[in-house]
Chain A
Amino acid sequence: MKKRTMETSLAGHSPRLIRSVERRLFLRQGLSLGALAMLSGCNLTDDESVQKVLTRMSRWNDRAQGWLFSQSKLAPEFPETAITKPFPFNAFYSEDEVTIVDGKSYRLELSGLIRDKKPWTLPELYALPQTSQITRHICVEGWSAIGKWSGVRFSDFLARIGADTTAKYIGFECADDYSTSIDMATALHPQTLLTFRFADEILPPKYGFPMKLRIPTKLGFKNPKHIMTMDVTNEYPGGYWEDQGYNWFSGS
């Protein structure tokens, strides 16, 4: 409406006037662009409807990453000389607050769609066939570091306990009150390892004693440490960071 009035009123006026109106229009549009730019400094993300769209897009990105994920695409492996020393510590707490788990009384609890739910002791887990990998750990913050982890291939372990591998998710509860969950396709990837050693030594507490699920096809926060229970399920389990807005799939 407004625009049409301006157009009709502009017709028949001198080019100079038109130019000055154009300039005014330009300035006003420039100002609104500036306002938009300033908005970006505020927390636009807190707006409910905006957040709804962003959350929906994040779910869409979960699906897109599921399609992109290839069971046979292997994460690059590195020589021993490429290992990052010292390997960075990272958690939602500081290094002096690391949880100490008692290895003697430790039992890995299994629940959900699993045939044999017998809890596992550490000696039993250590007795399983072990394999090693030197891969890049990539943090959601952007930094990365190369480390060596050893343990049992997770797909072998799932077969051994009779997990229903047609289920959608595996959720993990950890001794440090952390939790996360992964898709079954990633759980069955040949490089997904249930690890007990870091750099050929028993996992120190800061790297997740007694065990860390090492997934080189996912970001670092999807690699749970100090795992206490494992749940095979079709109900979306979420996770500590996922529930706060980090993308659930977070694949590499």
Chain B
Amino acid sequence: MEDARWVNIHPLIVRITHWINAFAILIMVTSGWRIYNASPIFPFRIPDGFTLGGWLAGALQWHFAAMWLLVANGIVYVVYGVVSGHFKRKLLPLTPRALLHDVLQALRGKLAHEDLSVYNAAQRAAYLAIILCLVVLVFSGLAIWKPVQFQEIAAIMGGYEGARYVHFCTMALMVTIVLVHIAMVILVPRTFPTMITGRARRVS
């Protein structure tokens, strides 16, 4: 039903890849934590209750199954984003000045969200950072999974052991950004159904 008060702001492909990505990341992160616990590189462990897989072999099965979903979905999203101009339209331009301004506004609780079809600079930075984090996670993951076959990638990260640190630290950064993202959605709840239906109320 066409309704003049509603406007479609998220293309279907973006919504589908967003939710597949969210699901894949949930599996990758929670199974990854279980794998981390088998031989922690920092002096802490992740509480088992937050992990997936039950034991190391189970966690590895989840991790190496969901990686295909994450990568295949990611390729569809990035190719679409570049070819259709979606990235250029929605995530750029991004200047440090605009970012600083919008982050300060957000901290004061004054960031404008009237028009959901336009991302503010803080959003653009966060979404770009998550995409970049995922790219680094995939490549450091390849280096850990295949430190011989993909030794050139591992070498960039200081070898196999270096790649483990890159993988974990990038995961921590990405999870932090995702938590901020979820907090922002809770603060502006109408963005949530919009990511499912694609529709937002037209700004008059």
Question: Which of B38, B62, B64 is A142 in contact with, Cβ under 8 Å?
Answer: B38
Q: Which residues of B contact A44 (CB under 8 A)?
A: 52, 54
Interface of B is mostly: helix
Known A45-B61, A76-B151; contact A68-B52, beta-carbon cutoff 8 A: no
Query: 18 extra interchain contacts, Cβ-Cβ under 8 A, other than A61-B64, A65-B146?
Result: A15-B201, A23-B190, A26-B192, A37-B30, A40-B51, A44-B54, A45-B54, A54-B65, A141-B39, A142-B38, A144-B160, A216-B148, A217-B149, A241-B57, A244-B57, A245-B57, A247-B60, A252-B148
- Complexed CA–CA distance, A76 and B162 (Å): 15
- Complexed CA–CA distance, A164 and B45 (Å): 47
| Cross-chain contact B61 with A22 (CB below 8 angstroms) | no
By Cβ-Cβ distance, the 10 closest A-B pairs, closest first, are A57-B65, A142-B39, A245-B57, A45-B58, A141-B38, A41-B49, A43-B54, A40-B52, A54-B61, A141-B39
Number of residue pairs across A and B with beta carbons under 8 Å?
Answer: 112
Q: Which residues of B contact A246 (CB under 8 A)?
A: 57, 60
Q: Which residues of B contact A70 (CB under 8 A)?
A: 149
Q: Which one of A11, A36, A43 has the greatest number of beta carbons of chain B within 10 Å? A: A43
Question: Which of B1, B41, B62, B164 is A45 in contact with, Cβ under 8 Å?
Answer: B62
A interface residue numbers (CB < 8 A to B): 7, 11, 15, 19, 22-23, 25-26, 29-30, 36-37, 40-41, 43-46, 53-55, 57-58, 61, 65, 68-70, 73-76, 136, 138-144, 216-217, 241, 244-247, 251-252
Name the CB-closest residue of A to B155: A76
Q: Which residues of B contact A7 (CB under 8 A)?
A: 1
- Complexed CA–CA distance, A22 and B200 (Å): 12
- Complexed CA–CA distance, A4 and B60 (Å): 41
| Cross-chain contact A138 with B147 (CB below 8 angstroms) | yes
Q: Which residues of A contact B160 (CB under 8 A)?
A: 136, 138, 144
Q: Which residues of A contact B35 (CB under 8 A)?
A: 142
The yes or no answer to B43 lying at the interface (CB within 8 A) is no
| Cross-chain contact A46 with B149 (CB below 8 angstroms) | no
Name the CB-closest residue of A to B58: A45
Q: Which one of B50, B149, B160 has the greatest number of beta carbons of chain A within 10 Å? A: B149
| Cross-chain contact A22 with B189 (CB below 8 angstroms) | yes
Name the CB-closest residue of A to B59: A45
Q: Which one of A22, A246, A247, A252 has the greatest number of beta carbons of chain B within 10 Å? A: A252
- Complexed CA–CA distance, A241 and B192 (Å): 44
Name the CB-closest residue of B to A144: B160
Contact-residue bracket for chain B: 35 or more
The yes or no answer to B109 lying at the interface (CB within 8 A) is no
Task: Say how far A136's CB is from chain B's closest CB, in angstroms.
Answer: 6
| Cross-chain contact A69 with B39 (CB below 8 angstroms) | no
Q: Which residues of B contact A36 (CB under 8 A)?
A: 26
- Complexed CA–CA distance, A54 and B27 (Å): 13
Q: Which B residues from 4 to 32 make CB contacts under 8 A with A?
A: 26-27, 30
| Cross-chain contact A37 with B38 (CB below 8 angstroms) | no
Q: Which residues of B contact A25 (CB under 8 A)?
A: 193
Contact string against A for B residues 59-100, beta-carbon threshold 8 Å, 1 for contact and 0 otherwise:
011101100100000000000000000000000000000000
| Cross-chain contact B148 with A75 (CB below 8 angstroms) | yes
Name the CB-closest residue of A to B196: A29
Question: Which of A26, A69, A73 is B189 in contact with, Cβ under 8 Å?
Answer: A26
| Cross-chain contact B148 with A217 (CB below 8 angstroms) | yes
Q: Which B residues from 146 to 203 make CB contacts under 8 A with A?
A: 146-149, 151, 159-161, 164, 186, 189-190, 192-193, 196, 201
- Complexed CA–CA distance, A45 and B52 (Å): 8
- The 23 listed contacts between A and B (C-beta, < 8 Å) are A11-B1, A15-B201, A22-B192, A22-B193, A36-B26, A37-B26, A45-B58, A45-B62, A54-B65, A57-B65, A58-B64, A58-B65, A65-B146, A73-B149, A76-B159, A136-B147, A142-B38, A142-B41, A245-B58, A246-B60, A247-B60, A251-B146, A252-B148
| Cross-chain contact A252 with B146 (CB below 8 angstroms) | yes
